[in-house]
Each structure stands twice: as C-alpha cells, then as structure tokens.
Chain A
C-alpha cells in the first residue's frame, strides 16, 4: 500500500503569510496527487489535482507542485477563510491532514 505522510500536522500563521504544506508518498506516484480543503463541519472540496492543476473556482493564491514522491501545497497569502484542514491524496490514499489556523 502507498502511504502518504503530510507535514506539519498543524500550523498557525498570520493573515497574509505564505503557508506551505508538504506531502511525501512512500513510493513514486508520478503526478497523481490531489489536495482537498475541509472547513469545519463542511464537505471536503477539491483544490488541486494532477499535482499542480487548479480546480475551477479555486483562488489563485493556492498552488501545488511536485512529482514522484514529494509534493507541496502553497497558500501565497493566507486569508481568514482559509482556516481548514488540508489533505493530500495520492492514488487512493489520503494523508493524515494539516490543520491550518490563524495566529
């Protein structure tokens, strides 16, 4: 089975900060990597797929990169509405999630 390891498990940053979340696959998964956002009490939402393709309607401050085993989700300027848990998902395996809060 593929294992997906996210880091950090939680972070606190100020509005306007650049935030980076990383995800590492236990074996190469090419670019089969997606990122989801789940706000408290809400249904998860696809942000990025194929490692770097922004889903329609997602703000451009979100971006993704990586290939093989190492991937990154970046929020270029953190906004209050970005408070959520973020999950990477590689070939049918989810990471454990990163909880993002505002400092």
Chain B
C-alpha cells in the first residue's frame, strides 16, 4: 500500500526556519515524482513544486520559486519542504503529494495527511 506520512504540526515565529517532511513507503520512491501543495485557511489548493528523487530534478511554481526549497533523501525515502525565514502568510496546511498510479508529474494520486504550519509572533 502506498503511504505518504508527513511530520507533525508546527508553531513558529516570523523569521524562523522550518523543514517539514514526507516519508514515502509502499512504492519505489526514486522512480516517481513527489510534490507539495499549500492550502491557506479557508482557501483553495496551490501547487508549490515537485521533485523526482531519482534525479533530484526539481520544478517550482513561479509563485513559490525562491520562497521555499524542496529536496529529497533517497536513502530514507523522504521528501522535504523548507523555509529559511517564515512569514505570517506562510500559515497554512501543507500536503505532500505523490504521482504514482498515473506515473505523471501532473496527477496527484496519493496525498499525505497534511502538516499544519502556524506562524505567529
């Protein structure tokens, strides 16, 4: 069974750094794209970016380029989403998404449970 298990909720202050994780299991981690989707409180879904762990090929939405860093550690089948300096506007639920069944980076057939990030002074 394909599973994406995300790290727990975080409460941070503006200016702090953060790295959240998503551990994949039940499939060949290096051979499928894995990405991140943001959902701000009461709002819609926003695609942030995606990585192909086998080649470290990473693509970003123009809206998030330079704002976050997506990475992956093949040895522990885990993808990461990282901020160097959080803002209050980064408060949101972040979903890890896998592109496995359809084997295309454009279709998110597997979803993590979400990581709630709250940034407040």
State the A residues within 8 Å of B (CB). Answer: 1, 32, 34, 36, 38, 43-46, 49-50, 53, 55-56, 85, 87, 89, 91-97
Q: Name B45's contact: one of A36, A50, A55 (CB within 8 Å).
A: A36
**Chain B interface SS verdict (over half):** loop
Categorize the interface residue count of chain B: 20 to 34
Q: Which 10 A-B pairs have the closest CB atoms?
A: A49-B107, A94-B45, A97-B44, A92-B47, A46-B109, A43-B111, A32-B106, A34-B107, A49-B102, A96-B44
Residues of B in contact with A (beta carbons under 8 Å apart): 37, 44-47, 50, 59, 61-62, 95, 101-102, 104-109, 111-114
Contacting pair B61 A45 (CB below 8 A): no
Of the residues A34, A43, A95, A97, contact of B114 by C-beta under 8 Å: A43
Q: Which of B46, B102, B111 is in CB contact (< 8 Å) with A94?
A: B46
